[in-house]
Amino acid sequence: MNAQNDWDDVRYFLAVARQGSLSAAARQLGVNHSTVLRRIAGLEGAMGVRLFDKLPRGYVLTAAGEEMHRTALAMEETLAAASLRLSGRDAQIDGTLRVTTVDIIALHVLPRHLAAFRQRHPGIRVDVTIAEASLSLTRREADIAIRLIGQPPDTLVGRVVSGLAFAPYAAAPLAERHGDAPLSAAAWASVDESFDHTSMARWMKATIPAERIAYRVNSVAALVEGVRAGLGFGLLPCALADRMPDLRRVGPAVEDSGIKMWLLTHRDLRMMGRVRAFLDFMATALAGDRDLLEGRGGQP
């Protein structure tokens, strides 16, 4: 085997180890089941050991397979790091730029700034992936992340461009009917338990009785639309709600939510031409939205 074939076999091995079955590994790799079986059998033959036991619950690593797994993961990490370093030398301001962020930014904050960025850099294609969970910048699942977090992981570099304010809102007719009654007396729409780690969820638990929550959803963008439809009061980002004339702010902004908007990349990509161009452009563009993002740009 040559070096390329050796690494390809290791990729097949890692896919089966991660997925626990040949069919799932085949789907991940974009090949058929028999190809995965053949590559695993070839690797086992070349090494003279059995790497997997086929059990009712799936493919399970043998003792030799566990040792091979540790080595394969180290190989993958080394190759990923080398790819990042080499990519970081690319100073050309063209090509594809992969950006990951959450739905509210992708839908309501980024589009006009992306249009202006494309006018300045028409040679760059921007691919945006909406994901609540952070995609791996180390494995090049994305080049840049725009995240709403308190503090990024140490493996990433970037800058804070703004805070993000939240306040309670209601559809205008619902707000008028509610009048001056306490917020805790209203029906509420809220995010579900997948947001339990966020300041939004902490505020809701501390402020609104659980029995007053009439609607829950796992997307802030969907929550905004639910509140606009009159499903209940909701704690919403001011940057979105203050620009919607059919919503009314019904209480003060949450003080010091701790959430910041970060522009992030992997340290080995920060000098790549298109990454640098995007980070510099968006830092300036989003700074111009700071009053809106921090709740000072719309309703009192």
293 within domain boundaries: no
CATH number at residue 244: 3.40.190.10
End residue of a domain, out of 48, 71, 87: 87
In whole angstroms, how far apart are CA 109 and each of 85, 143, 274, 293?
Answer: 31, 19, 20, 9
Q: What is the pLDDT of residues 172-184, one digit of tens each?
A: 999 999 988 999 9
Q: What is the pLDDT of residues 126-150, one digit of tens each?
A: 999 887 655 444 455 788 989 888 7
Report residue 166: phi and psi, to 5°.
-125, 145
What is the rounded average pLDDT for all residues in the chain?
A: 85
Q: Are residues 154 and 275 in the same domain?
A: yes
Q: What is the pLDDT of residue 226?
A: 96
Tokens 């995010």 map to which residue?
Answer: 191
Model pTM score: 0.62
Q: What is the pLDDT of residue 204?
A: 92
Domains contained in the chain, number = 3
Asked if pLDDT for residue 5 goes beyond 50, the answer is no
Range(s) of the domain holding residue 80: 3-87
Give residue 135's identity as a one-letter amino acid code: L
299 within domain boundaries: no
Contact 264, 148 (CB under 8 A): no
- Helices and strands (H, E) in the chain, number of each type: 12, 12
Q: Are residues 64 and 204 in the same domain?
A: no
Q: How far apart are CA 35 and CA 20, in angstroms?
A: 16
Q: What is the pLDDT of residue 4?
A: 44
Q: What is the pLDDT of residues 22-54, one digit of tens each?
A: 888 888 888 888 888 988 998 888 889 999 998
Q: What is the pLDDT of residues 188-229, one digit of tens each?
A: 999 988 888 888 888 999 999 999 999 999 888 999 999 999
296 within domain boundaries: no
